[in-house]
Amino acid sequence: MSGWKPIALIAEDVQAGRVTASELVEQSLAAIKEHAEFKAIIATLEAAAIARAKAIDERIAKGETIGRLAGVPFIAKDNFLVFGAETTAASNILKGFDAPYQSTAVERLEAEGAICVAKANLDAFAHGSSTENSDFYTTLNPHDKARVPGGSSGGSAASVVLQLAPFALGSDTGGSIRLPASFTGCVGYKPTYGLVSRSGVVAMGSSLDCVGPLANSVEDAALVLDVMAGRDAWDSTTIERDKEGYVVAAPTEMQGVKIGIIKEYMGEGLDPGVKARIDAAIEALKNAGAEISEVSLPSLPLGLAVYYVLTPAEVSSNLSRYDGQRYGHHTPDAKDVNESYTQTRMTGFGAEAKRRIMVGTYVLSSGYYDAYYKKAQTVRTKVIREFAEAFEHYDFLLGPTAPMTAFEIGANVDDPLQMYLTDIMTVAANLAGVPAISIPCGLSENLPVGLQLFAAQKHDRELLALAAKAEELIS
């Protein structure tokens, strides 16, 4: 696996003529073919990427300035609308769907000269923690082909670790960027809710969905975020970007930084090998001058239950648009429109999508709304308040990204509850809307472990600077 230079240096080389965008795209496409056995990619945008690279090279030859991502190849999770290939969200029900427009995130990256070369595999509609819920195939972990890469952005994470491109895009509704980053050993960033537009990204849980980068370093992730962040007229939930931006000018110095270790994430159920790596990272931060102590957020153990009430409720609403009448898969021999709806959804949706639709419509139904959905929203408010209170005393919070390392393919397929427990340490950041990052923090039995860091809402710049220093200390 030949490594890529830092993204900023790649763009500098392209702008200066030391390497061409065409050469970089060819390198990326060759790597995709070489590592096809890992099943990280659903489709390549070969023709479109080669044409775009050629156009960039011609502009540079004329002396034009391209942008901060000039010629840099990247891979988009296949729930991002992108020109040049179908957008399926890894679901049979969207087979044959060509996007009529591109996602805002992709548009902003391309405006700075980046080139999308491929679409990455995921759990269908981003429902899952392992990519085993993809309707096409399971992506393999680059460290051990018998294990999952995490999910739902498993293809994106594997692409980065396999060096198929310098960075990839993911979406994170309950840990879908951070969990695969932890399982595969790369950096995964979930920004403050609303910082990056979700326009043109297939919706899952709209009050939780976030768009973010997966990359080889915090520096690279910060640059990609800086390009994508900010208000967008096509997404009313977007917020203003930080006036100072998100590029890491210098890592945070640890002296006097107050970090809280989340008590609820360090106890029962945490794999001893994972705990050892997190403890070692904590020690390194302490030795660098950070003031670290334990903090309790007592509602966190309820977070997973809250998440798996609210998310299916929003999923059941968002998936209702897939009816076979306007786009994607449909059953042509149906006798009437009701049979068309039924047959399309029965054959087009996978088991996990159907499960979430049924759970979601149940918790929203008359007679159960107050008992489940309303109560879950009440507890969500408690989680939000507990994070806010913790950040009155601490600059950042810390814990593992996941309680375990990557599990074997098939280990949890027949046990949805066990699969859902994989997200136990990541869902709270989405419920509270706070930024969170997973950075590699060593290996346990030759498998990567992720350290998760949190900051208060809209403190993304500070979190990235801290993560850059932590990366430096524990690498």
Q: How far apart are CA 206 and CA 365, in angstroms?
A: 19
Residue with tokens 């403190």: 459
For residue 365, being part of any structural domain is answered with no
Could you list the residue range(s) of the whole structural domain that residue 224 is in?
Answer: 7-228
pLDDT class of 97 with cuts at 50, 70, 90: very high
For residue 163, being part of any structural domain is answered with yes
Across the range 3-30, mean pLDDT stands at 97
For residue 450, being part of any structural domain is answered with no
Specify the number of domains making up the chain: 1
Pairing assessment for the beta strands 167-172 and 210-215 based on DSSP bridges: antiparallel
Residue by residue, DSSP assigns 361-416 as: HHHHSTTTIIIIIIHHHHHHHHHHHHHHHHHHH-SEEEEESSSSSPPBTTSSTT-H
Q: How far apart are CA 472 and CA 218, in angstroms?
A: 10
Q: 1 pLDDT exceeds 60?
A: no
For the ranges 211-220, 277-286, 355-364, which has the lowest average pLDDT? 355-364
Output b/e per residue, 439-452; b: 16+ Cβ within 10 A: bbbbebeebbbbbb
For the ranges 22-26, 96-100, 218-222, which has the lowest average pLDDT? 96-100
152: annotated active-site residue: yes
Across the range 192-202, mean pLDDT stands at 98
Q: Write down the mean pLDDT value for the chain.
A: 96
DSSP conformation class of 250? S
For the ranges 94-98, 150-154, 411-415, which has the lowest average pLDDT? 411-415
Structure tokens at 104: 């805002």
Residue by residue, DSSP assigns 325-372 as: SSSS---TT-SSHHHHHHHHHHHHS-HHHHHHHHHHHHHHSTTTIIII
Residue with tokens 């306007």: 326
Under 8 Å CB-to-CB from 175, ≥6 apart: which residues?
A: 129, 190, 401, 402, 422, 423, 425, 426, 427, 429, 430
For residue 411, being part of any structural domain is answered with no
Structure tokens at 445: 């039995």
Across the range 446-473, mean pLDDT stands at 98
Q: 38 pLDDT exceeds 60?
A: yes
Q: How far apart are CA 197 and CA 215, in angstroms?
A: 19
Nearest in space to 130 (alpha carbons), one of 68, 71, 182 = 182
Across the range 177-197, mean pLDDT stands at 98
Give the DSSP H/E element, type plus range, for residue 438.
Answer: strand 436-444
- At 52 the pLDDT is 98
Any idea what the CATH number is for the domain that residue 48 is in?
3.90.1300.10
Across the range 422-435, mean pLDDT stands at 97
- Decide which of 346 and 109 is more confident: 109
Q: 154 pLDDT exceeds 80?
A: yes
Q: What are the Cα distances from residue 44, in Å, to 96, 108, 395?
A: 15, 20, 42
- Phi, psi for residue 48 in degrees, rounded to 5: -65, -40
Q: How far apart are CA 244 and CA 237, in angstroms?
A: 21
Q: From the candidates 129, 176, 197, 438, give the one annotated as an active-site residue.
A: 176
3-class state of residue 463 by DSSP: helix
Virtual torsion, Cα 450, 451, 456, 460, nearest 10 deg: -70
Residue 12 exposed, middle or buried by CB count within 10 Å (0-12, 13-18, 19+): middle
For residue 176, being part of any structural domain is answered with yes
State pTM to two decimals. 0.96
77: annotated active-site residue: yes
440 forms bridges with which residues in the sheet?
Answer: 450
Candidate ranges 110-119, 317-326, 357-366, 409-418; pick with highest mean pLDDT: 110-119
- At 331 the pLDDT is 84
Q: 338 pLDDT exceeds 50?
A: yes
For residue 224, being part of any structural domain is answered with yes
pLDDT, tens digit (0-9, with 9 covering 90-100), for 367-401: 899 999 999 999 999 999 999 999 999 999 999 99
- pLDDT over 70 for what percent of the chain? 100
Q: From the candidates 39, 77, 119, 190, give the one annotated as an active-site residue.
A: 77
Candidate ranges 118-122, 335-339, 420-424; pick with highest mean pLDDT: 118-122
Q: 460 pLDDT exceeds 70?
A: yes
For residue 79, being part of any structural domain is answered with yes
Q: 247 pLDDT exceeds 70?
A: yes
φ/ψ region of 434 (left if φ > 0, alpha if ψ in -120 to 50, else beta) reads beta
182: annotated active-site residue: no
Residue by residue, DSSP assigns 160-207 as: HHTTSSSEEEEEESSSTTHHHHHHHTSEEEE-STTSB--TTB--S-TT
Output b/e per residue, 404-435; b: 16+ Cβ within 10 A: bbbbebebbeeebeebbbbbbbbbbbbbbbbb
Q: From the candidates 28, 152, 153, 316, give the one annotated as an active-site residue.
A: 152
Nearest in space to 428 (alpha carbons), one of 394, 386, 369 = 386
408 forms bridges with which residues in the sheet?
Answer: 147
The tally of CA atoms less than 13 A away on the side-chain side of residue 52 is: 25
Q: What are the Cα distances from residue 445, in Å, to 271, 273, 402, 408?
A: 11, 8, 15, 14
**Distance, C-alpha 117 to centroid of its chain:** 18
The answer to whether the beta carbons of residues 107 and 73 sit under 8 Å apart is no
Q: How far apart are CA 334 and CA 322, in angstroms?
A: 16
For residue 270, being part of any structural domain is answered with no
Across the range 415-423, mean pLDDT stands at 87
